[in-house]
Amino acid sequence: MKFTAQQIADALQGKVEGNAEAEVSNLSKIEEGSPGTLSFLANPKYTSYIYTTQASIVIVNEDFEAEKDIQATLIRVKDAYGSFATLLEMYQQAKGKKEGISEKAHISPSATIEEGAYIGEFVSIGDHVFVGKQAQIHPNCSIGANCKIGEESILFAGVKVYDDCLIGNECTLHAGVVIGADGFGFAPQDDNNYRKVPQIGNVIIEDRVEIGANTCIDRATLGSTIIRRGAKIDNLIQIAHNVEIGENTVIAAQTGISGSTKIGKNCMIGGQVGIIGHLNIADEVKIAAQSGIGKSLNTAGDIVEGSPAFSVRDFQRSYIHFRRFDRIVKRINDLEHKVKDQ
């Protein structure tokens, strides 16, 4: 199927600059664009490619100013990245959705599977589970008793959900995710053995949450571990028992959050961050990658870095000195020499 620049501009409420009849049938990255494809420019790091790309059409922000000639037809829009996302969505929807219940799945007679749901091969669904309309459960998933999988949520292959956990609507859980394993709770004994503290709570995941591949969210000791509406959680993340993640908070891969810590809404947490237990992190806090958080961050909008972390500005200043530490020590040597001489 082919579309002209004008057709696409109309769909995106954009303005064509160049050949309005230029045609495309596929999407491409600007640095790999080939004739007949449509690309986009949003990240300024990639600006140089717009002058050399072979893509036939490029979507740009309306305030983009070209510094050289551009061969491609441009479509100017308010938000190039958002507009490109719209096209990607259209492309993906054209692929269609899976439906139907595999005969090779195992579904408890007491489970409820609503209309339009997809249950793949070798999926095991426990007693009293509820699977909402249009939900998709891919092969080899395992859903414990009393769970709820909300409408239009997708569980990719091999997701494991322990008993009693609740997953909202329009969530995406990627392959290998584990929801509801026991929190890491052991009481030390006098003989150095540990005694397991049973974990009888659950996990609640609200609507529109996305959880990356092989991420683990432990059940609460009591009560619930909670992931609030719209949170986005990347791959290989550890979320311990009784943690709460606020609305629309974004967490990058391999971060770990210890037990009972509460994280506010609209936070941005980098990759490989560690946060100890029983802390409060205010709304809109930003934490740089690989930071270690040992104290609550009570001020909304704080930006921190380091392990242990402190203000990002102070950290970066200290780190510049750290890099030059040898020269600093030489200055002290010189001073000692001079002061001795006097």
Site string (64-93) toward its own copies, x via CB under 8 A: ---------------x-xx-xx--xx-xx-
Q: Which of residues 19-58 bind its own copies (CB under 8 A)?
A: 27-29, 32, 43, 45
Number of residues in contact with its own copies under rule CB under 8 A: 110
What phi-psi label fits residue 7: left (phi over 0), alpha (psi between -120 and 50 degrees) or beta?
A: alpha
Rule CB under 8 A: say whether 240 interacts with its own copies: yes
Nearer to its own copies among residue 130 and residue 184 (C-beta): 184
User: Residue 76: what residue type?
Assistant: R
Q: Which of residues 117-156 bind its own copies (CB under 8 A)?
A: 120-122, 124, 138-142, 144, 156
User: Binding residue for its own copies (CB under 8 A) from 110, 200, 295, 299?
Assistant: 200
Strand partners, 268: 250, 286
DSSP assignment of 193-239, as one string?
A: -EEE-----EEEE-TT-EE-TT-EEPPPSSSEEEE-TT-EE-TT-EE
Q: Which of residues 278-297 bind its own copies (CB under 8 A)?
A: 278, 289-290, 292
Rule CB under 8 A: say whether 18 interacts with its own copies: no
Rule CB under 8 A: say whether 100 interacts with its own copies: no
Rule CB under 8 A: say whether 303 interacts with its own copies: no
Max CA distance (Å), the chain: 93
From 157, 181, 165, 319, select the one nearest 238 (Cα to Cα): 181
Rule CB under 8 A: say whether 11 interacts with its own copies: no
User: Binding residue for its own copies (CB under 8 A) from 51, 78, 110, 222?
Assistant: 222
Phi–psi pair at 30, nearest 5 degrees: -60, -35
Q: Which residues of 113-141 are buried (b: 16+ CB within 10 A; e: fewer)?
A: beeebbbbeebebbeebbbbebbbbbbbb
Nearer to its own copies among residue 69 and residue 92 (C-beta): 92
Stretch of 5-13, 17-25, 64-72, 311-319 lying at the interface with its own copies (CB under 8 A): 311-319
Rule CB under 8 A: say whether 192 interacts with its own copies: yes
Among this protein's residues, is 138 annotated catalytic?
Answer: no
Angle, nearest 10°, between helix axes 80-93 and 5-12?
A: 110
Catalytic residue among 106, 128, 241, 321: 241
Nearer to its own copies among residue 20 and residue 157 (C-beta): 157
Nearer to its own copies among residue 76 and residue 174 (C-beta): 174
Nearer to its own copies among residue 15 and residue 330 (C-beta): 330
What's the CA dihedral at 136, 142, 146, 147 to 10 degrees?
Answer: -40
Q: How far is the CB of 256 from its own copies (least distance, A)?
A: 5
Phi–psi pair at 325, nearest 5 degrees: -60, -35
What does the alpha-carbon distance between residue 307 and residue 273 come to, in Å, rounded to a whole number?
Answer: 9
User: Binding residue for its own copies (CB under 8 A) from 20, 181, 300, 312?
Assistant: 181
Please compute, for residue 229, the number of CA atoms within 13 A of its CA located in the half-sphere on the CB side.
2
Rule CB under 8 A: say whether 328 interacts with its own copies: yes
Catalytic positions, please?
241
